[in-house]
């Protein structure tokens, strides 16, 4: 699918679901990384991440288009177009658009396992489990004010 086909699809969805024309540009933006699409307030254009079409299919793309058209039409009408606004939430529900797009499969694979750090008080042997490293020269045991020492670091 190219930009021209995307433009036609957006215009069709706008007329069919919203009963209003889409008078601006819709195009694929290859630089979008963490989102399925975005509505630009200044130009009123809609940018779509092509990876969502390639990896999750046309249904996901249509959901993203519906979502961005909700932003578009509400903004042009001067109503609440942001995610937190009641107007936006009700319009999403009315047209069957998702509030957020699904995560790309390639992003799910990149997720790193979380690291667990175990610290032990040298005085009372109380064990502390943390996800982030702590500066043992600055922090002490909360029970006896003894010195802390890193015991073990492992992946969860």
Quick: pLDDT tens for 110-149: 667 789 999 999 999 999 999 999 999 999 999 999 999 9
Do 68 and 24 lie in a common domain? yes
| Spatial distance between the Cα atoms of 8 and 11, rounded to a whole number of angstroms | 5
3-state class (DSSP) for residue 114: coil
In the prediction, which pLDDT does 156 show?
75
Both structure tokens of 114: 């979380």
**Is residue 52 within a helix (H) or strand (E), and if so which, with residue range?**
helix 50-56
Do 16 and 66 lie in a common domain? yes
Query: pTM score, two decimals?
Result: 0.71
DSSP 25: -
In the prediction, which pLDDT does 111 show?
65
In the prediction, which pLDDT does 81 show?
94
Do 96 and 148 lie in a common domain? no
| Spatial distance between the Cα atoms of 148 and 126, rounded to a whole number of angstroms | 9
Number of domains within the chain = 2
List the chain residues with pLDDT less than 50. Answer: none
**Do 23 and 10 touch, CB atoms closer than 8 A?**
no
Catalytic residue flag (residue 153)? no
In the prediction, which pLDDT does 110 show?
63
Do 16 and 86 lie in a common domain? yes
Both structure tokens of 87: 């107007």
In the prediction, which pLDDT does 148 show?
96
Are β-strands 46-48 and 26-28 bridged in parallel, bridged antiparallel, or unpaired?
parallel
Please choose, from the candidates 60, 81, 63, 61, the residue with its C-alpha nearest in 3D space to the C-alpha of residue 72.
81
Do 80 and 146 lie in a common domain? no
Residue with tokens 């963490």: 34
**Do 61 and 19 touch, CB atoms closer than 8 A?**
no
| Spatial distance between the Cα atoms of 94 and 49, rounded to a whole number of angstroms | 24
**Do 98 and 67 touch, CB atoms closer than 8 A?**
yes
In the prediction, which pLDDT does 36 show?
92
Instruction: Quote the domain boundaries for residue 143.
Output: 115-155
* Set 11, 47, 60, 68: catalytic member: 68
Do 88 and 124 lie in a common domain? no
């Amino acid at each position: 699918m190219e930009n021209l086909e995307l433009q036609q699809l957006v215009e069709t969805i706008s007329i069919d679901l919203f009963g209003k024309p889409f008078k601006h540009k819709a195009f694929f933006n290859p630089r979008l990384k963490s989102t399925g699409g975005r509505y630009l307030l200044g130009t009123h254009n809609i940018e779509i991440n092509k990876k969502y079409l390639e990896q999750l299919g046309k249904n996901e793309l249509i959901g993203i288009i519906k979502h961005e058209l909700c932003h578009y039409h509400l903004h042009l009408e001067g109503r609440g177009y942001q995610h937190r606004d009641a107007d936006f939430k009700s319009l999403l529900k009315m047209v069957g658009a998702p509030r957020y797009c699904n995560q790309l499969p390639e992003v799910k694979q990149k997720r790193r396992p979380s690291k667990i750090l175990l610290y032990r008080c040298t005085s009372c042997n109380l064990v502390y489990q943390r996800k982030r490293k702590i500066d043992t020269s600055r922090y002490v045991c909360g029970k006896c004010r003894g010195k802390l020492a890193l015991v073990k670091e492992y992946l969860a």
